[in-house]
Amino acid sequence: MITIKEVKTQKELKEFVKFPFKLYKNSKYWVPPIISQEIKTFNKKENPVFKDAEARFFLAYKNDELVGRIAAIINWLEVKNQNQKKMRFGWFDFIDDLDVSKALFSKIEDIGKENNLEYAEGPVGFSNLDKVGVVTEGYDAIAPMITWYNHPYYAKHYEAAHYKIEKSYSESRFPFANVKPETFLKAQELIKKRYNLTALSFTKTSEVMPYVDKMFDLFNTSYASLSSFVAITDIQKDYFKKKFISFVNPEYIKFIIDKDDNLIGFAIVLPAFAKALQKAQGKLFPFGFLHILDAKKNSKDVIFYLIGIDPEYQNKGVHAVIFNEYYNVFTKKGIQTCYRTPELEDNYAIHQIWKHFSPEVYRRRKTFRKTL
């Protein structure tokens, strides 16, 4: 018999966060989160997303043993402002038992119906900066810290529950050796002169901060046309500043401004923290933070996390300016491999940007949908 229990206490929330540690304890590819930070993500007093969204967390038990978890999420900005009557769900993990996944699916579907929502989609997070998708191809590669990983059996559970594929994403990588400066060196000089653009580089996080609000505004503008995009609110900007910017090497943040100091392009690259997080095993102390600091300073792999170009400047080659800036930094640091985060397979514009680097798709993932 499967029992579903809603998380009500801090102890239960910690069990919710730690369940994957048990499920993936023998996996070479799963990357654990920092437990304390994951708990803060679900803290309604700390995460400002809860001003416009709500979430309930559930644990599944079989014979008194914890065997699954799921987060039921409603983003009211999405429901009310965009008229997307969607029941979101994420942080969905379970043993290979159809009765377990069915019971968890039923719980989020019931919540969706109670709130007059029309369909359920997942796995997704609260917003577009959260993790997304079930891995359906590419299980034999370590997962970046910004993506979910799962066992191969997950997809069949969605299908058994009559969920259909909603969105498809791909993740790719390429050796830095594939980057040939002749593909952008001359072009970026011409583009800077033609449009009177300047590339900003930084050596201190404090130098980045005056531009971060503008960056999130540009993020909202440049990604608005993508399906299911939910804009970042002003209060969320402050939260993400504290949560993310300090993890990024300042030299890995690039801004492009016009003659009036308007931000028209940006990019954020992260050091690859995955192996450091595996060593940390979910804890910053006593030694976990040392592994993370070492990766921040010395990792030879990087992840292109975000790139945004003002719609007025898209298709005008601004990305060549950004690539030139990174080429110089990566050459000095001896970077070996560049990874890209999950990108919608129908986002042809972003795929065109990378074509000169001959990227290899090494993993695919999906979100699934069911009418309620």
Q: Are residues 101 and 69 in the same domain?
A: yes
Q: In this predicted model, which residue has the larger pLDDT, 236 or 107?
A: 107
Q: What residues contact residue 14 under an 8 Å CB cut-off, 6+ apart? A: 35, 39
Among residues 171, 175, 162, which one has the least CA distance to residue 136?
A: 171
> 72: domain CATH number?
3.40.630.30
Q: Is residue 85 assigned to a domain?
A: yes
Q: Is residue 370 assigned to a domain?
A: no
Q: Are residues 131 and 186 in the same domain?
A: no
**End-of-domain residue from the set 147, 170, 193:** 170
Q: Are residues 90 and 15 in the same domain?
A: yes
Q: Inform me whether the pLDDT recorded for 227 exceeds 70.
A: no
On average, the pLDDT of the chain sits at 94
Give pLDDT, residue 101: 98
Task: Say what percent of the chain tops pLDDT 90.
Answer: 85
Strands annotated E in the chain: 2-6, 53-62, 65-75, 86-94, 119-122, 134-137, 164-175, 198-200, 253-257, 263-271, 301-309, 337-340, 343-344, 360-371
Q: Inform me whether the pLDDT recorded for 247 exceeds 80.
A: no
Q: Is residue 110 assigned to a domain?
A: yes
Q: Is residue 322 assigned to a domain?
A: yes
Supply the pTM of this predicted model.
Answer: 0.94
Task: Please tell me whether residue 25 adopts helix, strand or coil conformation.
Answer: coil
Distances in Å between the Cα of 201 and the Cα atoms of 28, 207, 255, 273, 321 are: 36, 9, 7, 22, 12
Q: Are residues 192 and 80 in the same domain?
A: no
Give pLDDT, residue 346: 86
Give pLDDT, residue 229: 76
In total, how many domains does the chain have?
2
Q: Is residue 368 assigned to a domain?
A: no
List the domain range (segments joined by +) for residue 106: 2-170
Q: Is residue 235 assigned to a domain?
A: yes
Q: Is residue 204 assigned to a domain?
A: yes
Q: Are residues 89 and 204 in the same domain?
A: no
Q: Are residues 183 and 101 in the same domain?
A: no
> For residue 36, what is the enclosing H or E element?
helix 35-41
Q: Are residues 159 and 249 in the same domain?
A: no
Q: Are residues 154 and 196 in the same domain?
A: no
Q: Inform me whether the pLDDT recorded for 85 exceeds 80.
A: yes
**End-of-domain residue from the set 108, 139, 170:** 170
Q: Are residues 178 and 164 in the same domain?
A: no
Q: Are residues 96 and 230 in the same domain?
A: no
Looking at residues 59-70, what average pLDDT do you find? 97
Q: Are residues 159 and 183 in the same domain?
A: no
**End-of-domain residue from the set 111, 139, 170:** 170
Give pLDDT, residue 228: 65
Q: Are residues 275 and 237 in the same domain?
A: yes
Q: Is residue 371 assigned to a domain?
A: no
Question: Per residue in 154-213, pLDDT tens?
Answer: 999 999 999 999 999 999 999 999 999 999 999 999 999 999 999 999 999 999 999 999
Looking at residues 114-119, what average pLDDT do you find? 98
Q: Inform me whether the pLDDT recorded for 234 exceeds 90.
A: no
